[in-house]
Structure 1
Amino acid sequence: MSDPTDLPEGTGAVSPRRRRWRGVLIALLIVAALVATGGIIVGRYMHSLDSAYQKRTTVSLDKGSSDGDRKAGGSGQNILLLGSDKRSAQDAGSEGVSGQRSDAMMLVHIPADGGEAYIVSFPRDLYIDIPGHGKDRINSALAYGGLPLAVTTVENYTKTPIDHVALIDFDGIEGLVDSLGGVDVNVPESFERGGTTFTAGTQHLNGKEALTFSRERKHLSGGDFARNQNQQQLLKAVAMKLISGDTLSSPGKMRDTVTALSPYLTTDDGLTSQAIVKLGLSNRNLRGSDLHFLAAPHGDPATTSGGASVVASDEKGMDALRTALKEDNMEEYAKQIAD
């Protein structure tokens, strides 16, 4: 890789000293909730669940050149999931950006034949081109242009079309996890934060603890990369609880889950209740073992000429991922990178 100091200064780059503790939301919980909600339960209790779901915010996504080309015969579905820090106006102004940044970004690929899901996580500091704003961290796209620009940025980078997008801010974590009665998380590394001790191994977390667990990075040996691993562990735990038999068989629990999630959720206007039902029915047999968590290829940590800490891209590795997404061959891709 070239000398990190050769990287140009990013527009709106944020110094680590100026970052506050911000949440990193579990993005898969959105898909897990939607898939679980989209099964038989929705058919029986559509009215109450639909009323809760309508509390979300919607945005329109324009289809254009960034959508890329689909392989003939279908290439599955791609859903972009974002977790937002939703900073205050004062914080946003001091950092030279507006709105919110995506502190968690995952691309979920559901193959055309269904039955599995591949969840690819992107480092929040990945240094790539943001259309109209030059090179910057990938998480700045949301601040510069909301969900439409975030979608376009990822479509350009992955060279694959995105069918739907969903965003949730971290204020929704506590209510969601608590509505599930807590979750059992595999803690990779012991640490202490906010008066809570997280011990390596399986640990039951309530909503407040889950939020703290997903936000921590400075007390972890791997920093942001270790935090990404923690987020994935929390995602797995939430997904397992959502698709467990007792949750799916309880209309009350599903209603409470959707009610807790919806006020913090923003989706594209195409992700309607009907679309969710269709998605859920086509993936109603999805189980925890069918969820495959992957990390997007990336280079080493680097520093821009302006002193901003970023993560370099890995174009060779990304080309392999781009091909797998385009050809709907993520199963083979996952096997290759695991070898």
Structure 2
Amino acid sequence: MSHAEIDLPGEWEDPSQPAPRRRRRGWLIALLLIGALIAGLGVVIGGYLLSLRGEYEKRSTVSIARTASDGERPADLGSGTNYLLLGSDKRDPETAAREQTFGQRSDVMMLVHVPADGSDIYVLSFPRDLYVDIPGHGKDRINAALAFGGVPLTVATVENYLGAPIAHAALIDFDGIKGLVDALGGVDVEVPLTFEGDGIEFTEGIQHMDGETALTFVRQRYMFADGDFQRNRNQQALLKAILNSFISRDTLSDPMKIREAIGQVSPFLTTDDGLTALTMAQLGVSLRDVRSENIRFMAVPHGEPFTTTGGASVVGTDEEGMDVLRRALAEDAMGAYYSQYAGAY
């Protein structure tokens, strides 16, 4: 979307007005885990809660403390809470804690904003090739921050770009998908288009997938005209299906299924060390009335793809559009922002 097409308001428009048609956004697997815990921890008590906590503690943890080169963390204005959710297709659970996920690039990156009133939740996707400043490394694709400095540098990069603090962060590898999908008994995925990958036929429309099929589905890209963009859409379609399955009555009424699912995904999960089981439980209680229809998906403002002088293909930024988003985050006014800009990017 060009700058000329953006209507930058002096004041927020009435959020009660009908929202423009919005682009369907998918579900990052880390959001799935958090959503699952929100749903699960809000309805379980006692010994089962302790058991669930034990499964969650199989994850790896890292500190997201800043270094001198990262600069000062943006001020917390006390309005709403931001979470950074990352997905990667190359993570070794045995070395994740030691290496702090250095050397990878995040395939998926989303900001989750939870308003102070705990109403609707806003999820904003970042293009993986967005060309931004990475502290200590100059301009590069935003997904390179994970390779340069792990989750801590990725958090600092996003905070600097948004001008807003990140309270917690989570990263999951896609290898956690297989066991998770199987633990749920398979999931029904809305396949965006027909294609064949690794000997498996995927047909446009609803298709039931087991874990192996799901993993194949989200890893394909070379047969698509737009490569990674279609792969991202496929990943989003699968993750949406997983979340819908996770918060279904059949799953929430089956404590052992929740426990098994979390146990399957936790070894492939890294969070900041502050995102404890207790923190998750508190979040679950505060958001106990939130349902899938209360989660609003958007993309952060961005420019057009271009090639750098060094020959890299990247996605440009949109500073005017970002200023509007930064203001909405600072003022905890994402409802008004969503009513005007949903589907704009």
Q: Which residue of 2 aligns with 1:9?
A: none
SS of the residue aligned with 2:151?
helix
Match among 24, 30, 49 for residue 27 of structure 1: 30
Counterpart of 1:68 (choices 47, 71, 74) is 74
Q: How does 1:301-316 map to 2 (within 5 A)?
A: 301-316=305-320
Deviation (angstroms), 1:305: 1.5
Q: Is the 8 A contact 2:38 2:284 kept in 1?
A: yes
Alignment counterpart, residue 141 of structure 1, candidates 135, 141, 145: 145
Deviations 1:218-263 (A, max 9, x none): 3334433333332322222111111111211211001101100111
**Does structure 2 conserve the Cα–Cα contact (< 8 Å) formed by 1:86 and 1:99?**
no
Name the SS of the counterpart of 1:67 in structure 2: coil
Pairing partner for 2:89 from 54, 78, 85: 85
2:272 matched residue in structure 1? 268
Question: Could you tell me how far 1:67 is from its partner in structure 2?
Answer: 3.1
Separation (CA, whole Å) in 2 of partners of 1:290 and 1:66 = 33
Instruction: Call closer, same or farther: CA 1:42–1:227 in 2, change over 3 Å.
Output: farther
CA separation of 1:202 and 1:43: change in aligned 2, threshold 3 A: farther
Secondary structure class of the residue paired with 2:34: helix
TM-score of the two chains, using structure 1 as the length reference: 0.84
Which segment drifts farther, 42-51 or 53-62? 42-51
1:43 CA displacement: 4.9
Secondary structure in structure 1 of the residue aligned to 2:304: strand
Q: Which residue does 1:164 correspond to in 2?
A: 168
1:229 to 219, 229, 233: 233
Per-residue CA deviation, residues 200-223 of structure 1 (Å, 9 max, x unaligned), is: 222212212222222233333443
Q: How far does the alpha carbon of each residue in 1:58-103 deviate from its partner, in whole angstroms, 9 at most, with x for none?
A: 11122685531233xx321111011123268xxxxxxxx9521111
Distance 1:43 1:186 in 2: 37
2:237 aligned with 1:219: no
Matched, 1:201 2:205: yes
Measure, in 2, the Cα distance between the counterparts of 1:78 and 1:145.
20
Distance in 1 of aligned mates of 2:303 and 2:82 = 24
Query: Residues of 2 paired with 1:165 and 1:290: CA distance?
Result: 21
The residue type paired with residue 290 of structure 1 is: N
1:181 aligns with 2:185: yes
| Cα pair 1:196 1:209 within 8 Å, conserved | yes
Structure 1, unmatched stretches of 5+, are 2-23, 89-96
Aligned residues: 307
Unaligned runs of 5+ in 2: 3-26, 93-100
Q: Does residue 1:150 correspond to 2:176, yes or no?
A: no
Asked if 1:39 corresponds to 2:42, the answer is yes
Query: Relative to structure 1, is the Cα distance of residues 81 and 43 closer, same or farther in structure 2, using a 3 angstrom cutoff?
Result: farther
CA distance in 1, matches of 2:305, 2:181: 32
What SS does structure 2 have at the residue aligned with 1:40?
Answer: coil
**What is the rounded CA distance, in whole Å, between the counterparts of 2:207 and 2:45 in structure 1?**
31
Q: Aligned to 1:33, what secondary structure does the other structure show? A: helix
Partner residue, 1:99 = 103
> What secondary structure sits across from 2:242 in the alignment?
helix
Aligned-residue CA RMSD (Å): 2.2
| Amino acid in structure 1 at the alignment position of 2:73 | D
CA distance in 1, matches of 2:115, 2:235: 23
Instruction: Please give the TM-score of this superposition, normalised by the length of structure 2.
Output: 0.83
Q: 1:330 aligns with which of 334, 338, 343?
A: 334
CA contact 1:186–1:233 (8 Å) conserved in 2: yes
Q: Deviations over 1:153-177 (max 9, x none)?
A: 0001111110100111111111111
Kindly indicate whether the alpha-carbon contact (under 8 Å) linking 2:102 and 2:150 is maintained by their aligned counterparts in 1.
no
